[in-house]
């Protein structure tokens, strides 16, 4: 039986498959929100908010608390509880870190999707309104450490979502123009920031956002599973 020499048809077939994967990329740069998008952190965040405001005898329903997600922590708390923002932020962070690995969860299919994106030649980043070190802690907890090319946290820019500055910062770190990027998130501010940056926008429904509100922002795609997200990012693959 004849053998296939190195660099023969089998190697060519593998190269062709890789080329096809690259061609199917809709956007060569994929930026993600973290909370409620790459990881299921919503129960952790909601519980942390409830604990923090409970220490000053205050309460808020889950719907209101979920609406705070996606914005920087201290400004949200200061706006809601004037004069108590720093105190509540410190309380929140202490409780959040103590319960972080216990309450954070992996989103089904996301690790596999990131692998497929990298195999297809995509560059990836996380743009979050939380501190970069906390994002990295979360990435480690859900097995995504080392698979993200750049992390842009709260401290990287002076303005935050829905302002486009954090997204544009991440794109510049990757040497990419905005038109080659898409931002994937679970909140209306994520879609708004993407639009303001001139990027594609994909909204996911497994996070903190309300589906009807996300739909009203007119993202390029509204997806309910990681498989649907994969199809939006790698059509036909």
Preceding peptide of 194 cis, ω within 30°? no
Q: What is the pLDDT of residue 7?
A: 43
DSSP annotation of 69:
T
Q: What is the pLDDT of residue 1?
A: 38
pLDDT at 101 over 80: yes
pLDDT band at 78 (very low <50, low <70, confident <90, very high): very high
Q: Would you say 25 and 120 are in contact if contact means Cβ atoms under 8 Å apart? A: yes
For 186-222, how does the pLDDT look when each residue is reduced to its tens digit (9 = 90+)? Answer: 999 999 999 999 999 999 999 999 999 999 999 999 9
Q: Would you say 215 and 226 are in contact if contact means Cβ atoms under 8 Å apart? A: no
**Residue of 6, 33, 61, 90 with catalytic role:** 33
Q: Would you say 186 and 201 are in contact if contact means Cβ atoms under 8 Å apart? A: no
User: Is residue 163 annotated as a catalytic residue, yes or no?
Assistant: no
- Structure tokens, 123: 């560059």
In three-state secondary structure terms, 198 is coil
Q: Would you say 113 and 226 are in contact if contact means Cβ atoms under 8 Å apart? A: yes
- Structure tokens, 73: 């922590």
Cα–Cα dist 161/177, whole Å: 19
pLDDT at 13 over 80: no
Mean pLDDT of 170-180: 97
**In whole numbers, what is the pLDDT of the chain averaged over residues?**
91
Mean pLDDT of 67-87: 94
Using the structure block, give the residue that is written with the tokens 């992996």.
106
pLDDT at 171 over 70: yes
pLDDT at 2 over 70: no
Q: What is the pLDDT of residue 24?
A: 73
pLDDT at 42 over 60: yes
Q: What is the pLDDT of residue 221?
A: 98
Mean pLDDT of 110-138: 96
The proportion of the chain whose per-residue pLDDT surpasses 90, expressed as a percent, equals 86
pLDDT at 3 over 80: no
Q: What is the pLDDT of residue 70?
A: 84
pLDDT band at 236 (very low <50, low <70, confident <90, very high): confident
Q: What is the pLDDT of residue 71?
A: 87
In three-state secondary structure terms, 140 is helix
């Amino acid at each position: 039986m004849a053998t296939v020499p190195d660099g023969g048809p089998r190697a060519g077939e593998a190269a062709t498959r890789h080329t096809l994967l690259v061609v199917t990329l809709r956007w060569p740069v994929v930026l993600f929100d973290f909370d409620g998008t790459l990881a299921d952190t919503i129960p952790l965040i909601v519980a942390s908010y409830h604990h923090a405001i409970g220490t000053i005898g205050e309460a808020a329903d889950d719907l209101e608390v979920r609406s705070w997600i996606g914005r920087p922590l201290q400004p949200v708390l200061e706006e809601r509880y004037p004069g108590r923002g720093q105190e509540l932020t410190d309380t929140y962070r202490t409780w959040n870190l103590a319960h972080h690995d216990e309450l954070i969860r992996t989103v089904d299919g996301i690790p596999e999707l990131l692998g497929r994106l990298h195999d297809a030649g995509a560059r990836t980043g996380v743009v979050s309104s939380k501190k970069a070190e906390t994002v990295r802690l979360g990435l480690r907890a859900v097995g995504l450490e080392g698979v993200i090319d750049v992390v842009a946290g709260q401290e990287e820019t002076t303005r935050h979502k829905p302002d486009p500055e954090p997204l544009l910062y991440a794109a510049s770190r990757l040497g990419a123009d905005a038109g080659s990027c898409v931002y994937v998130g679970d909140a209306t501010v994520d879609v708004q920031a993407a639009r303001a940056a001139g990027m594609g926008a994909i909204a996911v429904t497994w996070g903190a956002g309300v589906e009807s509100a996300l739909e009203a922002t007119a993202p390029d795609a509204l997806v309910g599973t990681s498989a649907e997200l994969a199809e939006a990012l790698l059509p036909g693959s």
